[in-house]
Amino acid sequence: MSAVDSIETSTRDVEVSIDDAGPEEWRTDSKGRSYVPRQGKSGVIYRAADNETVDEARARDSKGPKDRRPKQKTSRVPKSPAPTQRSIAELERGLCDLLRSPQMVTAMKGDEWATLHFDREAPVLARNLAVAAESNPWLRSKLEAAVFGDGTFLFKLLALAPVISAAIAYVLPPIIYYLDPGFIPPEARDRFNVPRRPTAETRKLLRERRARELDEQAEREQREIDQILADPRAESADAAPTASTDTAAAA
């Protein structure tokens, strides 16, 4: 037998073995997709439909463009909307600028102490307000309206100025009188007409003087009573005009 006859015989044997193996079946990859390897070239052919056969897939691949891997369906996570609320850091900076604004007036008047006071204490108060607003939605909304709003909140606050002034005039004098803080200037005491609270020694002297006055008054009254009892004529003389007056009135 020649070499050509041997090759033809082996080719017929392979064709017989392929025909005996039956129709080719779909294979499944790790992601559950059905495919078959291409014949005569690299790559695979993916199944386009559930009822597509292998022969139909090969015919489609032979006359069409390169088969593409079907895209995996993924649900896109919706993008969260942009935040509308101001951050606490922005609120703190706005409060600091707002609380420092009075120093412009004091600087124009040349009051160095007040200018330094507002410049030093404004950041401290702004930080405390921002920390409190972080856990208090109501306070945060009011502060944001005051700092970033259209100014209506400030107008409402200015409208309450008389009420705030009356509240200060009601609360501050008792504080000055009972606590006597050292930072309260004497002008404020004179402005609210608040006297100095007596010390313990002064109160003791006042009680003793009051007790002496009461004792002296009691002694005067007792002397008058003793004089009346010692001189009955004085009592009758005092009673006589009263009797005559009563008679005249009866007449």
pLDDT value, residue 128: 92
Task: Enter the DSSP assignment of 237.
Answer: H
| CB-neighbour burial class of residue 24 (10 A; exposed 0-12, middle 13-18, buried 19+) | middle
pLDDT at 213: 92
In this prediction, residue 101 has a pLDDT band, given cuts at 50, 70 and 90, of confident
Rounded to 5°, angle at Cα 238 from 235 and 243 = 115
> Measured between alpha carbons, how far is 45 from 57 in angstroms, rounded to an integer?
7
Note the pLDDT of residue 16.
42
Whether the predicted pLDDT of 161 surpasses 50:
yes
Residue 3: pLDDT band (50, 70, 90) is very low
C-alpha dist (Å) from residue 160 to 102, 125, 173, 202: 19, 21, 21, 42
Q: Does the pLDDT value for residue 82 go beyond 80?
A: no
Higher pLDDT, 79 or 199: 199
Q: What was the pLDDT predicted at 189?
A: 78
* Tens-digit pLDDT profile for residues 58-74: 888 777 555 566 666 66
More confident position, 198 or 77:
198
Structure tokens at 206: 């006042």
Span 109-132, average pLDDT: 88
Q: What are residue 44's DSSP bridge partners? A: 37
Q: How far apart are CA 81 and CA 66, in angstroms?
A: 41
Given a cut of 60, whether residue 75 has pLDDT beyond it is yes
Question: What whole-number percentage of the chain has pLDDT above 90?
Answer: 5
Which residues sit opposite 27 in a β-bridge? 35
DSSP 8-state code for residue 191: H
Q: What is the mean pLDDT of residues 30-56?
A: 82
CA atoms within 13 A on the CB side of 46: 13
Q: The tokens of 157 are what?
A: 């606050």
Percent of the chain, pLDDT > 70?
Answer: 69
Global pTM exceeds 0.75: no
Please determine, for residue 251, whether its predicted confidence score (pLDDT) is greater than 50: no
Question: In this structure, what token pair is assigned to residue 24?
Answer: 């080719």
Q: What is the pLDDT of residue 155?
A: 65
- Of the pLDDT bands very low, low, confident and very high (cuts 50, 70, 90), residue 162 is confident
Residue 14's pLDDT is what?
44
- As a whole number, the mean pLDDT across the chain is 75
**Rounded to the nearest 10 degrees, what angle do helices 112-134 and 137-148 cross at?**
140
pLDDT for residue 9 is more than 70:
no
Q: What 3-state class would DSSP assign to 84?
A: coil
- pLDDT tens digits, 188-243: 778 788 887 777 787 788 888 889 999 999 999 998 888 888 876 655 555 555 54
Q: What is the pLDDT of residues 142-159, one digit of tens each?
A: 888 888 876 666 666 666
Strands annotated E in 6-68: 27-28, 34-37, 44-46
**173: which residues sit within 8 A by CB, 6+ positions away?**
192, 193, 194
